Amino acid sequence: MVTGDSRAEITQRLRDIARDLLERGEVDVFIGYEEGSLPLRTTPAFITRPDDVSRLTWGALCENNLATYLPKFEGRVGVVVKGCDVRALVNLIVEKQIARDQVKIVGVPCQGVIDRRKLAGAVGEGPPVRSVEETDGFIIVRGSGFEKTIPVQEMLSPACATCVHPVPVLYDLLAGDEARSRGACPREDAFAEVERFAGRNVEDRFAYFAREIERCIECYACRQACPLCYCPECFVDRQSPKWVGRWRDLSDKMVFHLGRVLHTAGRCADCGACRRACPAGIDLRLLSKQMEKDALEFFGHEPGTDLEAAPVLATYRREDPDDFIL
């Protein structure tokens, strides 16, 4: 198994880079990760003083996509990105939400992030996990009267399994060795899950999404965690006209989720932030993964990989497929 650079090495490089950027005044703030307040959590850290860089950490629990803090960012910023995170950032630059020269992109060749729900399942019911130790390749969880050692690779977020670009496609500085990132998923395998799902009949598929979306509590954590959901006013918040009722009707919740998926079509690079943020554990990836596939197949567009490529839904070419229009 490829274990990649050790966590400690990457952590040290991130601290050195952050110190350097702050000391030389190249950035006003450096956004990375620090230890969280719970055993399985890290938390975004906004570092403004070189002396604080020792707070920074790295590991398979660094799950948040920090690009979500960058739309309309004021000042110069350094940001730690994984392979998926930077694709959101590329979109933000293309869509003029942040200028390329405003941001120092600090890439980490990604080894995948842990899915906390999967891990909770592996630990099982019973007393809570009280401490976690991450070694290279393994995570050791402990609670009163138990200890389990679990391979990180088995606990990875589902988005990691289909990741085609574990090494950031764009960066100013790289905190790790490219060759030692997690192996990329072959492109032809990346959409296997959505293809399987698309093979089911339409009633089945609708029933699946209805069951998922029914659990939505309309907290909008998915939207807020998404780096691409930066509209100053979301369509569901419009009062006049009121597009969506705030009511127990499933169709209202559906309109929100389907609208969001369509709005991020050709932009979403499947970082999984929406799914992770959802307190109801709704499978929010399946539809957006289908959009990613459509963008690639219909328009030859791979979201967030090219600073020069215009957003698919904001451009028109004569050869764009239109056979789905009656």
Enumerate binding residues for another protein (CB under 8 A): 36-39, 41-44, 46, 64, 68-69, 117, 125, 127-130, 144, 211-212, 214-215, 217-221, 223-225, 233, 237, 239, 245-248, 273, 276-277, 279-281
- Find the shortest distance in angstroms from Cβ 130 to another protein: 6
Pairing of β 131-135 and β 146-151: unpaired
Residue whose CB is less far from another protein, 127 or 183: 127
Taking the CB of residue 200, how many other CB atoms lie within 10 A of it?
A: 12
Residue whose CB is less far from another protein, 201 or 239: 239
DSSP letter, residue 184: P
In sequence order, the 6+-apart residues with CB closer than 8 A to the CB of 293 are 191, 194, 195
Residue whose CB is less far from another protein, 182 or 276: 276
- Find the shortest distance in angstroms from Cβ 24 to another protein: 23
- Find the shortest distance in angstroms from Cβ 131 to another protein: 9
Residue whose CB is less far from another protein, 63 or 294: 63
Amino acid making up residue 253: K
Residue whose CB is less far from another protein, 129 or 296: 129
**Residue 237 buriedness (CB in 10 A; 0-12 / 13-18 / 19+):** middle
- Taking only Cα atoms into account, the Rg of the chain, rounded to an integer number of angstroms, comes to 20
Residue whose CB is less far from another protein, 44 or 311: 44
- Find the shortest distance in angstroms from Cβ 249 to another protein: 8
- Segment (H or E) for 45: strand 42-47
Question: 169, 83 in Cβ contact below 8 A?
Answer: yes
- Find the shortest distance in angstroms from Cβ 203 to another protein: 19
- Find the shortest distance in angstroms from Cβ 257 to another protein: 15
- Find the shortest distance in angstroms from Cβ 7 to another protein: 18
Q: Measuring CA to CA, how many Å separate 225 from each of 69, 228, 275?
A: 9, 9, 9
Question: 193, 162 in Cβ contact below 8 A?
Answer: yes
Distance CA 318, CA 8 (A): 52
**218 token code pair:** 């309309």
Q: Measuring CA to CA, how many Å separate 23 from each of 31, 48, 203?
A: 15, 10, 59
Residue whose CB is less far from another protein, 127 or 186: 127
Residue whose CB is less far from another protein, 46 or 298: 46
Residue whose CB is less far from another protein, 126 or 183: 126
**151 token code pair:** 């391979």
- Find the shortest distance in angstroms from Cβ 171 to another protein: 22
Question: 286, 204 in Cβ contact below 8 A?
Answer: no
Dihedral sign for Cα atoms in the order 115, 117, 119, 122: negative
Question: 253, 214 in Cβ contact below 8 A?
Answer: yes
- Find the shortest distance in angstroms from Cβ 266 to another protein: 24
